[in-house]
Structures are given as structure tokens and as C-alpha cells.
Structure 1
Amino acid sequence: MARRTKAEAAATREALLDAAEEVFLERGVARASLDQISRRAGLTRGALYWHFRNKGDLFRAMLNRVRMPFEELVAELDDPSLGDRPLDAVRLGCRAGMIHLDTPRHRRVHSILLHRCELSQDFDPLKVKDEFVQETLKAFLRHFCLAHEKGQLRDGLSPERATELFHFSLNGLFWEWLRDAEDFSISERGAILVDTLIDLMRKA
């Protein structure tokens, strides 16, 4: 019985997160209410509070369902030689991440992050978003610093500038993709962009 109760609780939590994705996408984070989310899930507000303290807690849990720490993406490649090839680690890690992105759930959540996050009275979703961005930027910078130390980064290109170039290029790609996801495949177009950027950064 306990096992069934645990499974039911997990199913309830997932239903609430699914509903949060839908309501946040439709109304924006600031205008979405917990009542609307619980009703969309077909549950009571009490059930929502059993799993989440507030809207901020729910928003963070929604992001964590699709969160892909860059270092974990690189680790999943299971290639020890990437430690000596940091530019290839960035290239392959980004390509793996874009394959994950090309799914309906990831598309919805990233659409919320880019287009539906407004300052809320309950919490600041942009602050939460920035935490995830900074995590990725630190990972990029670490790899580009290692490439610089190994003499693999082109002359005149600092690790900091390489990180900025990657960040703004990928951000623009995400923006265009989310504007009309049917226009192109981010995993295919993204692979070309990432490969081109790495080739431009690599020392000849």
C-alpha cells in the first residue's frame, strides 16, 4: 500500500508540473495563479501545497525537470580524452544538449523562460532563470580557460570573450527556434552553428 501511495504522490506531482507548464505558457508566470494551476491539473489547492511551498518552488521544480547541467552532458559522452580537448568537449556537449532540447516539453519550458517570465509579486522568475544561465556560463568559461592554457584557442581570443560569443550566439539561436520551432530543427541547425563557432575559435 505504501508503495502505491508513493507512486500516486509522484503522479500527482507530475500532473501539477504538467499543468504549471501549460498555464505559465498561456498566461505568463506573473499572471498565473496557483488556483488556475491546481484546477488545470484537476486537483485541489491543498494537493498543490502538499508538494510545493509556493509559486517559486513550483517554477523551480518545473525547470529542474528539463535542466541539463553542461558538465553532466559532457560526462555522459564518456570520453576521457575530452579532458585534453576542451573545445571538442564544448562542441559535443552542446550538440548533445540540443538533441535533448528538441522535444515538446523542453520547447514549452524554454519558451516560458525566454518569453513568459515577468516580475511577479510572489518571486522573481528572472533571478531563477539567471542562476541557470550563470551555471552554464561558468562551465563554458572553465572549458575555454583550459583550451587557452593548452594553446588551443586562437590568438587574440580570450576565454572570457569566447564565452560571451558562445552565449549570445546560442541565445539568439534559441530565440529564433522558439519563435517558430517548426521552421527548423535546433539539433540540426544548432550542430552547424556550434561546429562553425568552434572552428573559428580553434587555433589554426
Structure 2
Amino acid sequence: MARRTKEEAAATRAALLDAAEEVFLERGVARASLDQISRRAGVTRGALYWHFRNKGDLFRAMLERVHLPFEDLLNNLDHAEVGHRPLEAVRLGCHTGLKQCDTPRHRRVHGILLHHCERTDDFDPLQAKAEIARETCQALLRQFQQAEERHQLRPGLSPERATDLFHYALSGLFWEWLRVPDAFSLSQRGPALVDDLITLIGSSETS
């Protein structure tokens, strides 16, 4: 019985997160209400509050369900394959992340982040978006600093500028993908862009 109750609770939580994705995407975060989300999930308002304290808590849980920190992508690489090549770690980490993002769920959540986040008096979803971008840039910067120490960055290019180049190029790719998501596959076009960026910023002596 306890196992069934636990499974039912997990199913209710998942249904609420699914409903939140749909309602946030349709109405925007600011205009979406918890009543609308609970009705869409087919549960009571009390069931929603059992799982989530407020809209901000629900929004962050929705992000956590799709967000894999870039640092984790790097840590999961085959270090025997990457060796002492931080640019190769960035390349492979980006490839993995782009493939994982090319799913309907990621498309919905990134679409919410890009197009449907409005600040309210008691909740700022843009802050969560900024935290994800800052976390990713910090992980990239550390890799590019290591590349500079190993003379693997193009002469004259600082780790900070390399980080900006990656951040803004990939942000533009995501924006274009979410604007017309059926126009191309993120997992097909994205890795080629990453490879070109690595070639641009890498030293000619990089092996």
C-alpha cells in the first residue's frame, strides 16, 4: 500500500508539471494561475499545494526536470578520450547537451523561458533563466581558462571572449530553433555549429 501511495504521489507530481508546461506555454507564466494548472492536471488545488508551495516552486521544479548542468555533462565524459584537451571536453559536452534538448519537453520549457516569462510582483522567472545562463558560462569559462593555460586557445583570444562567443552563438541557435522549431533539428544543426566554434577559437597547434 505504501509503495502504491508513493507511486500515486509521483504520478500526481508529474501530471502537475506536465500541466504547468502546457499552461505556462499557452498563457505565459505571469497570467497562468495555480487553479488552471490543477484543473488541467485533473487534481485538486490542495493536491497541488501538497507538492509545491507556490507558483515559483512549481516553475523551478519544471526547470529542474529538464535542466542538466553543463558541469555534469563535462563530468560524465570519458576522460580517457578527452585527456588534457579542455576544448574537446566543451565540444563533446555541447554535443550531448544539444541532443538531449531536442525533445518536445525541452522545446516546451525552453519556449517558456524564451518567450513566455514575465516578471510579477512576487515572482521573477527571468531570475531562474539568468541563473542557468550564469552557471553554464562559468563552466565554459573554466574550460577555456584551462585551454589558455595549455596554449590551446587562439592567440589574442581571452577565455572571457571565448565564453561570450559560445554563449551568444548558442543562444542565437536556440532562439532560431524555438522561433520555427520544425524548420531544423537542433541535434543535427547544433553539433556542426559547435565544431565550427571550436575550430575558430582553437590554436592552430591544438592537437
Q: What TM-score does the superposition give when structure 2 sets the normalisation length?
A: 0.96
Instruction: Measure, in 2, the Cα distance between the counterparts of 1:70 and 1:19.
Output: 27
Gaps of 5+ in 2: none
Deviates more, 1:79-88 or 1:3-12: 79-88
CA contact (8 A) 1:23 1:36 kept: yes
CA contact (8 A) 1:56 1:125 kept: yes
Partner residue of 1:51?
A: 51
Instruction: Measure, in 2, the Cα distance between the counterparts of 1:77 and 1:161.
Output: 25
Give 1:177 deviation, angstroms.
0.2
Q: Deviations over 1:145-183 (max 9, x none)?
A: 000000000000000000000000000000000011110
Percent identical residues: 70
Partner residue of 2:36?
A: 36
Partner residue of 2:111?
A: 111
Aligned length, in residue pairs: 204
Instruction: Measure, in 2, the Cα distance between the counterparts of 1:68 and 1:83.
Output: 23
Give 1:83 deviation, angstroms.
4.8
Instruction: Measure, in 1, the Cα distance between the counterparts of 2:132 and 2:201.
Output: 24
Q: Deviations over 1:130-157 (max 9, x none)?
A: 1111110100000000000000000000
The one-letter amino acid paired with 2:156 is G
Residue 141 of structure 1 pairs with residue 141 of structure 2: yes
Instruction: Measure, in 1, the Cα distance between the counterparts of 2:174 and 2:32.
Output: 24
Gaps of 5+ in 1: none
Deviates more, 1:15-24 or 1:117-126: 117-126
Partner residue of 1:165?
A: 165
Which runs of at least 4 in structure 1 moved beyond 4 Å after TM superposition? none
Deviates more, 1:127-136 or 1:16-25: 127-136
The one-letter amino acid paired with 2:133 is V
Secondary structure, aligned partner of 1:84: coil
Which residues in structure 2 correspond to 1:4-15 (within 5 Å)?
A: 4-15=4-15
Q: Deviations over 1:65-101 (max 9, x none)?
A: 0001112112222233525110011011001001001
Secondary structure, aligned partner of 1:77: coil
User: Given the superposition, is the C-alpha separation of residues 19 and 179 from structure 1 closer, same or farther in structure 2, using an over 3 Å criterion?
Assistant: same
Give 1:29 deviation, angstroms.
0.4
CA contact (8 A) 1:137 1:167 kept: yes
Instruction: Measure, in 2, the Cα distance between the counterparts of 1:58 and 1:15.
Output: 12
Secondary structure, aligned partner of 2:56: helix
Which residues in structure 2 correspond to 1:1-204 (within 5 Å)?
A: 1-204=1-204
The one-letter amino acid paired with 2:45 is R
The one-letter amino acid paired with 1:146 is Q
Secondary structure, aligned partner of 1:183: coil
CA contact (8 A) 1:30 1:121 kept: no
Q: What TM-score does the superposition give when structure 1 sets the normalisation length?
A: 0.98
